[in-house]
Amino acid sequence: MLFKEKLKSNSKIFLDGGNGSEIAKLGGEMSPAFSALASITSPEIVIKVHEKFIDAGCDLITANTFSSTRHNLESINRGAEVKEFIIQSLKLSRQAIKNKGKENKIGIAGSLSNFFSLKENEFVPNPKYIPSFKQEEQNYKEAAKILKEEGVDILILEMLLDIDHSKILLNAALETDLPVWVGLSSCISKFDNSVIGRNFSAEKENSLIYDETKYKEQPKFIPDDKIVLLNDIVKSLTNMGGDVYGIMHTWFVDAFEGLNIIKNNWNGPMMFYPEIHKFDTKSHKAIVTSTEEEFANECEKLIDNQIQIIGGCCGVTDKHLKKLIERYS
């Protein structure tokens, strides 16, 4: 496989940017299942986002399958259509590649996450759509199996920030025998400056402009909302396997420590794709915090020989990545 050879040769691989944030910016339909519905209702927008990242010089695009698991799709009454959603998202990825004449030159990653669908207009998981651990396992295996059958090149696990849910997802991905790239989200704790799995209520650098007078519950990523040391998460997951580990959906200011913790526990190739936007819960708009030049500068400070895969998460546009890719071309 092309990407295995690139990793062996210590070449850099450029991943795409914030698909969900870009889909939303262009008017794609968002829902409690994040950008999943856009593949069905706004296919031309999803294709356009992929095309922009291809034009920027990315080697790999990520299919819009981040939230296409059964329990998340149930939040929009489409839980029985997992296969249809995944197939449609991959069709759009392939169409974008074809439109740009890049067949056999651009890879496709199937995205999976253990991020749960949220309550309407709030930033807490909706308890109605939180499955049992057994059902969660079955749902991840279902989605991973479909992604393999439909021919993705790799599986990218995104926003892993705990141990329990992350182990279930990683196990499902490893059963496919596809290359598995594991993206961990981390932050610095405001309580003791320790490096922890990303946690809304504990992060020192706030990612939400949050109206506490409007919402009853404090924001959180996962139902348990545990504060877990990143070092413990990395040790638990790397003992299971995987091909690449890295930090994603994480602020630059928090990323350095997170990347070092992975390096202390993992000798294989790594990836890095940061988040650069804050979300205002009053206006429901994203505020990008880095210019293209600032993004490229900050990435260069952190990228080394072990970090071979570079991309972006929320807020990172094709222009941000183009600026960075130009420095390595």
Question: Under a CB-based contact definition with an 8 Å cutoff, are residues 130 and 139 in contact?
Answer: no
294: which 2 tokens?
């600032």
Percent of the chain with pLDDT strictly greater than 70: 99
DSSP string, 208-233: EE--TTT-SSPP-SSSS----BHHHH
Query: What are 209-233's pLDDT values in tens digits?
Result: 888 888 878 889 889 889 999 999 9
Dist. CA 24–CA 329, nearest whole Å: 30
CA 277, 166, 240: angle at the middle one, nearest 5?
A: 125
Which one-letter amino acid corresponds to residue 167? K
Please give the mean pLDDT across all residues of the chain. Answer: 95
Give this prediction's pTM: 0.97
Average pLDDT over residues 136-157: 98
Structural domain span for residue 256 = 2-328
Domain with residue 77: its CATH number is 3.20.20.330
* Residue carrying structure tokens 């205002």: 280
Render pLDDT for 88-112 as a digit per residue (tens, 0 to 9). 999 999 999 999 999 999 999 999 9
Please count the structural domains in the chain: 1
pLDDT at 284: 65
Q: How far apart are CA 312 and CA 49, in angstroms?
A: 13
What is the C-alpha to C-alpha distance for residues 216 and 45, in angstroms, rounded to an integer?
Answer: 34
